[in-house]
C-alpha cells in the first residue's frame, strides 16, 4: 500500500508587486496554516518519509513550517508543473509514503485526476492554499500509480482546522 499526500503551498504575500512570483514568501495566514496542517498530518498518522518540494520560496517555507522529518528533494520543475509532470515524480518515488508540496493549478488538477472519486468537500475543486489530499494506492510500486487509481483517505484545508 502506498500513501500520497498532495499539499498546495500555504497562503503567500502579494505585498511587494516588484517581487518575482517565484520569490513570494508566506503571509501571516500562511505562516499559521502550514504548522496546523503539519500537526494534522502527524496527529492522523500520515507521516511521509519522502518529500518532493517546489523550489519556490512559498513552497519551501510551507515545507519548513510543517515540522515533518523526511528525505527532501527540492524540485525546480514543480514550479508551474502540469499534472503529468507531478505524476512522473510520484511514479519515480521510492518510499511507502510521499508528499508533494507544490502549486495550483498542477497540484489541484493532479488531485482531481488521481483519485477514483472526489471527497465530499465543497473546496476540493478549488484546492485552496494549504489544502491537503491524502490518497492510498493498492499497488506494489509507485510506477503502477495511474490516473483514477487512488482512494481518498482525507482532504483537509486550514479553514477546516480553524487555523486561518
Express each pLDDT in 34-52 by its tens digit: 999 999 999 999 999 999 9
Cα gap 146→137, rounded to integer Å: 9
> Using CB atoms within 10 A of its CB, is residue 18 exposed (0-12), middle (13-18) or buried (19+)?
exposed
pLDDT digits (tens, 9 = 90+) for 76-114: 999 999 999 999 999 999 999 999 999 999 999 999 999
Checking if the pLDDT of 163 tops 60, the result is: no
**CA torsion, ordered 148, 154, 160, 161, to nearest 10 deg:** -140
Q: Is position 29 within any domain? A: yes
Q: Is position 88 within any domain? A: yes
Residues 6+ apart with CB under 8 A from 49: 70, 71, 95, 96, 97, 98
Checking if the pLDDT of 17 tops 50, the result is: yes
Q: Is position 41 within any domain? A: yes
Full residue range of the structural domain in which residue 58 is found: 2-11+22-140
Checking if the pLDDT of 31 tops 80, the result is: yes
Please name every residue paired with 152 in a beta bridge, in sequence order, or none if there are none: 135
Return the CATH number at 73: 3.40.50.1240
Q: Is position 93 within any domain? A: yes
Checking if the pLDDT of 154 tops 90, the result is: yes
Q: Is position 134 within any domain? A: yes
- Give the pLDDT of residue 15: 84
- Give the pLDDT of residue 151: 98
Share of the chain above pLDDT 70, in %: 99
Average confidence score pLDDT of the chain:
96
Q: Is position 27 within any domain? A: yes
CB-side exposure of 75: number of CA atoms within 13 Å? 24
Q: Is position 148 within any domain? A: no
How many domains does the chain divide into?
1
Q: Is position 48 within any domain? A: yes
Task: List, as one string, the DSSP characters of 83-99.
Answer: HHHHHHHHHT--SSEEE
Higher pLDDT, 14 or 84: 84
Checking if the pLDDT of 148 tops 70, the result is: yes
Amino acid at each position: 500500500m502506498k500513501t500520497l499526500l498532495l499539499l498546495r503551498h500555504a497562503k503567500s504575500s502579494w505585498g511587494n508587486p516588484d517581487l518575482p512570483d517565484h520569490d513570494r514568501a508566506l503571509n501571516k495566514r500562511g505562516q499559521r496554516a502550514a504548522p496546523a496542517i503539519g500537526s494534522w498530518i502527524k496527529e492522523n498518522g500520515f507521516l511521509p518519509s519522502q518529500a518532493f518540494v517546489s523550489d519556490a520560496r512559498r513552497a519551501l517555507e510551507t515545507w519548513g513550517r510543517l515540522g515533518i522529518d523526511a528525505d527532501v528533494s527540492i524540485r525546480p520543475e514543480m514550479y508551474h508543473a502540469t499534472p503529468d509532470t507531478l505524476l512522473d515524480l510520484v511514479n519515480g518515488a521510492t518510499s511507502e509514503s510521499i508528499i508533494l508540496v507544490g502549486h495550483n493549478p498542477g497540484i489541484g488538477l493532479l488531485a482531481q485526476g488521481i483519485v477514483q472519486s472526489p471527497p465530499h468537500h465543497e473546496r476540493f475543486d478549488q484546492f485552496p492554499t494549504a489544502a491537503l489530499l491524502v490518497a492510498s494506492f493498492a499497488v506494489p510500486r509507485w510506477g503502477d500509480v495511474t490516473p483514477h487509481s487512488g482512494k481518498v483517505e482525507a482532504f483537509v484545508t486550514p479553514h477546516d482546522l480553524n487555523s486561518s
